[in-house]
Every structure is written in C-alpha cells, then in structure tokens.
A and B are shown apart, each in its own frame.
Chain A
Amino acid sequence: MIDKSISGKYAVVGVGQSAYGKFPEKDDFHLAADAFADALDDCGLEKDKIDGLAVCRLPHYGRMAEILGIQPRWTLQVPPHGRMSGVSIVEALAALDAGYTDYVVLLYANIGRSRRVQYGGEESPGFWDPWGFTSMGAIHAMMFREHMERYGTTTRQLAEVPVAFRRHAVMNPAAVMREAFSIDDHENARMICDPLRLLDYCLINDGAVCLILTSLERARDLKKKPVVVAGVGAQDALVNYSYPQHDFWYEPLTKVADQVYGMAGIGHDDVDSLMVYDNFSPTVLFSLEGLGFCKRGEAGAFVEGGTLGLGGKLPANTDGGHLSNSYMQGWALNVEAVRQVRGECGERQVPGCETVQYVAATPCTRSIIYRAA
C-alpha cells in the first residue's frame, strides 16, 4: 500500500511548456530547455536549487542536464511511453519523500511531427505483424469494437469526447487544433481503423513540457500558490501485455480509484475537472467506467449531451487534450490540472476549481489528485 501520509505534503510549484506544433529547426533538447525556462520563470526558483531530474522521450538525461546546467543527486530516465508521465510523477514524489531530492524537475519532449513518426509498422515490430495488426490506435479500435458489441455503445456517443475537447482547444491559444467540429463531422471523418476515425486519434506534434515539484513547506517561498498532490493511485496490467486489454482496464482502474480517492479523502463529486489520458477517444470512456464516474458499460450514455464540456457535469481535458491541444503524452494534462487549480485558465477556466484529477488508463494505470494547498 502507498503511504497515505504523503497526501498534501508535496506540491507542483512550477509548470512550463514550449510552443506546440511543427519545429523541424529545433531538436528535443532545445524544446525541453524552452519548457524548463518557462517553468523556472513560473515559480521563480533559483536554478541551482534543483537536485533531481526525470526525463521522458528525451535521448539522454546527461546531455539534458548539461544543457540546463544542473547537477542532480537523483536522476531518472523512463521509456517514451505515455503511461510514463504518471509513473514519473509518482516516482518523483517517492524520491522527495525519501529525501533523495528536494527540488525535482520533470522534463518531456516529443519531436514526432517533424521526424514523421508513424507509431506502427516497422517502427514497432511485434508478434501479430503477419496478420497486419500494428499501432496503438488499432489496439484501442479493437477494444472499442468489443465495448460496442457488449454494451451497445455507439460511435455518436464516442464522438462526444473529441467534440468536447476540441471546443476546449478553441479556447486555448496554445492548442494545435482550434477549429470546432460536430458529432456529424466526426461520423463523416476519414476512417483509419474501423471503428475509429481520424478525429478519434491524438495529434502528432512537436513540443515539450516541464513540471517542478518540492515539499509544501519549501513551496511557500516561491512565486505561485502551491498546488499539492492530495492523492495517488497505481496499478499495472502487464500479464497478457501482447493483447488488447480485454476488460478495458476496468480492474486496474477500480484499484487505482480506491487508492487515489482514499488517500485524498474525497469522492467523485468533489472532482471539479478531470484530465483523462486521451491517446484515442475510447480510453476516456474506459476511464470513466473504471474510476466509477458511471456504471460499467454505461460511459456512452454518461457522456451524451456534453457532460465532458466546460459547463457540463464533468469538464474534462480543458486544454483540448491529446486529441486537440498537443500530444504531450499525459504531461500537458498534468500542467493543465495545476493551472486549473491555480485559476489561470482564462476563458476555459472551470469556475471555483479546487480539485482536479489526472488519470491514464494504460498498462501502467496511474491517477493523481491535485488540490489547492
């Protein structure tokens, strides 16, 4: 069991990002350095105080530290998987709690757009290639077809997810995709892997994100209102890793829900906004069911009528998410969670937002609840 005493002890003090889009003239280190400078400026921390470094999707922790001129006593490099954003934040909390670091910086960069990454085929050989099965999108399409067959979920219900997130991106000046579309537009979009269409797929763009964490005590000396981590939940699903997850991550999500709400001491009704990993739109429906925002098999009906939009019952991915803001593999969603709690989101601000939950339903499912200190 995770020690519940860490609830409220550690805070995100600085958040930053590079521009999002296509930047063939910049490499990943460069984008990450842009995000780091932005995060330092956000919190006013002296750079030399940083003594912990976690990097994801960057080629090398050593070169990154050299570029930034930081000398950590705790360093972590994780594989370039979206699930690793939540994993890294949880590991950083553990390192803070163990005293291995006092000020930890987490950096993520992606140059998939200008490097023409395909996320399938020869880039990621697997056992099922001879049958033509490849790409994360196809795995999610396979799961969503099963959900449709078992529960009667429809693609029009699924469309509620990307439609709501695009509405949010329209209100986010930094977002890559800012043109609103309707459920009918979604139904008519180009099919990529039936039953999923182009608008169910995350963007592929360049960009970088940075978070800086420290103890609440130390956070009080910095520029912005500290946003604490009130709860954390973690459960992996790695047995049968070669297959699409047959229960839509329901079991790991229920375990994560027990942990994260238990540690934070809150329930679903206390969540003012949800930041939900949306590499493909079905993941959002699976997350809602597993966390218990609705009953199993009923996420399609739950999201109907704009539930996830600003002004709806559960505003989600207010920055536009991976589907419309930026493919920052969970990192930007954690930044948006912090900004919502701070009240910095302008036109897309959730009124009276005090508690925001992040969740990634993945083979390494993680959830984090952020709250005003």
Chain B
Amino acid sequence: MTPDIQRPLPDRNPISAPFWERADQRVLALPWCKKCDQTHFPPSPRCPYCLHDAFEWRPVSGRATLVSWVVFHRAYWDGVAAELPYNVCQVELEEGPRLISNLVGAAKEAPRHGMALKVTFTDRYPDITLPVFDAA
C-alpha cells in the first residue's frame, strides 16, 4: 500500500457495479447480452446491438493485444501526482471489446503496438483493485 497515492474512484452504479465487484475479487469480466449473446463495453443499460436489458457477467481470458499507450506528465487529480509520470494504455481484449488500462512489468518497460498482454491486478491502491496488463 502506498497511502499518498489515490486513484480517482469509479461511479459504482447498478450498471457498472458488477465490473468493479469482480475486479475487487481479481476477476476481469464483461457483460454478455442474454438475448443476442454479444458483449459490449463500457457497461450500458441496454445492449447496443439488440437493446435487450439483461446481461450475464462472464470472466474473460485476460489475453489482450496492445493498441496504444501514453505517459502522463501532468496530474489532473492531486491523488495521482506522486505517480507521475504514469502510463495509460489501450488494449484489445481477445473477446473483442477494448479497455483503457495501465501497463506494468515488462510491458511498461518496452511497450510495442500489437504486443501480447495478459491481465493482472493492482494491490498498491488502498480503495480500489484495478485490472492492468503485463507482457504475456
């Protein structure tokens, strides 16, 4: 734990809470539409393909490819100032949807467009567990 670092906390509403509850348990999961069996992200009140409103949250493989990344040198929240510079990445999950996340380990040291990644979870923030990505 690094108490002086505080990431902005998510809005845990009825639509988004299933994602964060599973992340707390170190599980990355996506919502699948119970009618058309397609997945979407970020979580929405109705399926953007068929407009059905019931979903099954299923764990995903955690395998992804790196699309892009940036490194913040400016803190837009006071709580992340101690982490500067910090990276943010965009990954494409094996199941289709993209995710904005952070790179850790070897992927953080030498990111490359198209590199294979696997999910892991943070334990450095006091109030949240975030899915992040390392080299596969």
Q: Hey, which bits of chain A sit against chain B, CB under 8 A?
A: 118, 120-122, 125, 127-135, 138, 141-143, 145-146, 149-150, 190-196, 239-240, 242-244, 246
User: Which of chain B's residues have a CB closer than 8 A to the CB of A142?
Assistant: 68-70, 88, 90
User: Which of chain B's residues have a CB closer than 8 A to the CB of A122?
Assistant: 8, 76-77
| A130-B68 CB under 8 A given contacts A135-B76, A239-B48 | no
Chain B interface mostly: loop
27 A–B contacts from the bound complex (CB under 8 Å): A121-B8, A122-B8, A122-B76, A127-B16, A129-B7, A129-B10, A129-B77, A130-B9, A130-B130, A131-B7, A133-B100, A135-B76, A138-B70, A138-B72, A138-B88, A141-B70, A142-B68, A145-B68, A145-B113, A149-B112, A191-B71, A192-B74, A193-B74, A195-B70, A240-B98, A243-B100, A246-B98
Q: Is the CB of B100 within 8 A of A128?
A: yes
User: Which of chain B's residues have a CB closer than 8 A to the CB of A240?
Assistant: 98
Q: Contact mask B70-97 → A, CB, 8 Å, 1/0?
A: 1111101100100101101010000000
User: Which of chain B's residues have a CB closer than 8 A to the CB of A130?
Assistant: 7-10, 128, 130
User: Which of chain B's residues have a CB closer than 8 A to the CB of A127?
Assistant: 10, 16, 42, 100
Q: Is the CB of A193 within 8 A of B68?
A: no
Q: Is the CB of A146 within 8 A of B113?
A: yes
CA distance A103 to B110 in the complex (A): 58
CA distance A127 to B80 in the complex (A): 16
Q: Is the CB of A121 within 8 A of B76?
A: yes
Give the contacts of B29-79 with A (CB-CB under 8 A).
41-42, 48, 67-74, 76-77
Shortest Cβ gap from A152 to chain B (Å): 11
CA distance A149 to B67 in the complex (A): 9
Let me know if B109 is at the binding interface, CB within 8 A: no
User: Which of chain B's residues have a CB closer than 8 A to the CB of A128?
Assistant: 88, 100
User: Which of chain A's residues have a CB closer than 8 A to the CB of B16?
Assistant: 127
User: Which of chain A's residues have a CB closer than 8 A to the CB of B132?
Assistant: 131
> Which of A135, A150, A194, A243 has a CB less than 8 Å from the CB of B73?
A194
Number of contacting residues on B, CB 8 A?
Answer: 35
Let me know if B101 is at the binding interface, CB within 8 A: yes
Which of B72, B76, B112 counts the most A-chain CB atoms under 10 A from its CB? B76
CA distance A141 to B114 in the complex (A): 17
CA distance A133 to B86 in the complex (A): 10
User: Which of chain A's residues have a CB closer than 8 A to the CB of B98?
Assistant: 240, 243, 246
CA distance A257 to B69 in the complex (A): 30
Q: Is the CB of B71 within 8 A of A193?
A: yes
Q: Is the CB of B73 within 8 A of A191?
A: yes
Shortest Cβ gap from B51 to chain A (Å): 14
Shortest Cβ gap from B4 to chain A (Å): 15
> Which of A120, A132, A133, A192 has a CB less than 8 Å from the CB of B83?
A132
User: Which of chain B's residues have a CB closer than 8 A to the CB of A149?
Assistant: 68, 112-114
Which of B68, B73, B77 counts the most A-chain CB atoms under 10 A from its CB? B68
User: Which of chain A's residues have a CB closer than 8 A to the CB of B74?
Assistant: 192-193
Shortest Cβ gap from B66 to chain A (Å): 9
User: Which of chain B's residues have a CB closer than 8 A to the CB of A190?
Assistant: 73
Which of B7, B74, B83 counts the most A-chain CB atoms under 10 A from its CB? B74
> Which of A121, A143, A192 has a CB less than 8 Å from the CB of B77?
A121
Q: Is the CB of B68 within 8 A of A131?
A: no
CA distance A48 to B63 in the complex (A): 65
CA distance A239 to B98 in the complex (A): 13
Q: Is the CB of B76 within 8 A of A120?
A: yes
Shortest Cβ gap from B110 to chain A (Å): 13
Shortest Cβ gap from B63 to chain A (Å): 19
